[in-house]
Amino acid sequence: MNPPVLEAKQLNKTYRMKNGTPFAAVKNVSFSLMKGETLGIVGESGSGKTTVAKMIAGMIPVTSGDIAMDGKLLSAGAKRPLAAKRHIQYIFQDPVSSLNPRLKVWDILAEPLKLYFKLPQQEVDSRVDQLLRDVGLPNHYKLSYPRELSGGQCQRVGIARALAAEPSIIVCDEPTSALDMTIQSQILDLLKELQQRRGISYLFIAHGLEVIYSISQRVMVMRQGEVVETGLTQAIFADPQHAYTQSLIQAIPRIDIPYFE
Ligand SMILES: Nc1ncnc2c1ncn2[C@@H]1O[C@H](COP(=O)(O)OP(=O)(O)OP(=O)(O)O)[C@@H](O)[C@H]1O
Ligand SMILES: [Mg+2]
């Protein structure tokens, strides 16, 4: 089997609350992510999913634990080399607020192209056009501001911005929860198609298991900062071991998911 593209070992994150007391938001979380794979992270609000995601993407430092990409240890934030930052991109839950309101779509997409590849203007232009095609947005949207687009269109821009960096990993932090059902499935289809064509690995976060079922091969269930169960998605649906996982499966509206047909 191929070595993992990403390995997280014994990740811990302790936040300091306003009154000074420590709060352990993530406790001893370990996992690996293979090339071209989608690993789902599921759990209720506050279970630590975004905290894990942000540590992986280097947006916040770990309190303890190791993150390695292609076998090399990674640090957080400014200390992470540009090449490593480029390879782990992030798609946010709120598509509109994740885009700078003062920039047109063209500038939003040009930013990573200039930062990571130092492309000359003319090439930036043609890459922006290609990225818009890749995510199914008409070309004229490059002259629009985020506020002029729908939530689904903004999320397509968010996906294009992540793709611009040509990453090996995309952290998708509940990328469809702010969208209505039909738009949700269009965005999921787009993510699946992009993965098939490019072999990108996704760390895909969701509140509930219904979205996870359709997109991820493996799933990790988190509760109160800890992993309570992990395994193949099919196996977890067929035979959930932990009572919390069972409650997540029971919470799924039956009509949403082929498993219950
Ligand atoms: N910067 C911070 N300072 C203090 N506590 C924080 C901070 N960020 C998150 N927390 C706390 O850590 C816990 C985990 O938060 P996190 O955002 O990782 O959860 P989540 O699983 O992503 O939840 P949701 O599904 O609502 O997005 C929560 O109790 C949250 O209040
Ligand atoms: Mg979150």
Check the CA dihedral 5-210-249-239 and report its sign. Answer: negative
Please measure the distance between the N-terminal and C-terminal CA atoms of the chain and give it in whole angstroms.
34
Distance from C-alpha of 33 to C-alpha of 24, rounded to nearest angstrom: 24
In the chain the domains, ranked by start, together with CATH numbers, are 6-260 (3.40.50.300)
Residue owning the nearest CA to atom 8 of ligand 1: 51
Q: Which ligand minimizes its atom distance to the CA of 222?
A: 1
Q: Which ligand minimizes its atom distance to the CA of 47?
A: 1
Residue 54 Cβ inside 6 Å of ligand 1? The answer reads no
Average pLDDT, stretch 72-79? 85
Per cent of the chain over pLDDT 70 is: 96
pLDDT of residue 258: 58
pLDDT higher at 76 or 96: 96
Beta bridge partners of 203: 39, 171
Residue 1's CB is within 10 A of a number of other CB atoms, namely 4
Three-state DSSP class for residue 198:
helix
Burial class (CB in 10 A: 0-12, 13-18, 19+), 68: middle
pLDDT of residue 256: 55
Ligand 2 center from residue 261 Cα (angstroms): 30
Three-state DSSP class for residue 211:
helix
Q: pLDDT tens for residues 217-230?
A: 999 999 999 999 99
Three-state DSSP class for residue 188:
helix
Ligand 1 center from residue 15 Cα (angstroms): 9
Ligand 1 atom at minimum distance from 16 CA: 4
Candidate from 12, 50, 63, 92 with most ligand 1 atoms within 8 A of CB, to mutate: 50
Residue 19's CB is within 10 A of a number of other CB atoms, namely 5
Q: pLDDT tens for residues 5-19?
A: 999 999 999 999 889
Distance from C-alpha of 230 to C-alpha of 241, rounded to nearest angstrom: 10
Is pLDDT above 80 for 254? no
Distance from C-alpha of 10 to C-alpha of 157, rounded to nearest angstrom: 34
- pLDDT range class, residue 261, cuts 50, 70, 90: very low
pLDDT of residue 128: 98
Q: Which ligand minimizes its atom distance to the CA of 45?
A: 1
Cβ-contact 111, 100 below 8 angstroms: no
Residue 179 Cβ inside 6 Å of ligand 1? The answer reads no
Residue owning the nearest CA to atom 16 of ligand 1: 48
Distance from C-alpha of 175 to C-alpha of 189, rounded to nearest angstrom: 12
Two tokens at 160?
Answer: 């294009």
Distance from C-alpha of 184 to C-alpha of 9, rounded to nearest angstrom: 32
Extract long-range pairs of 129-135: CB within 8 Å, 24+ residues apart.
Answer: 131/160, 131/163, 131/164, 132/105, 132/160, 134/160, 134/163, 134/194, 135/159, 135/160, 135/163, 135/190
Average pLDDT, stretch 241-247? 92
Three-state DSSP class for residue 250:
helix
DSSP state of 114: H
Residue 46's CB is within 10 A of a number of other CB atoms, namely 13
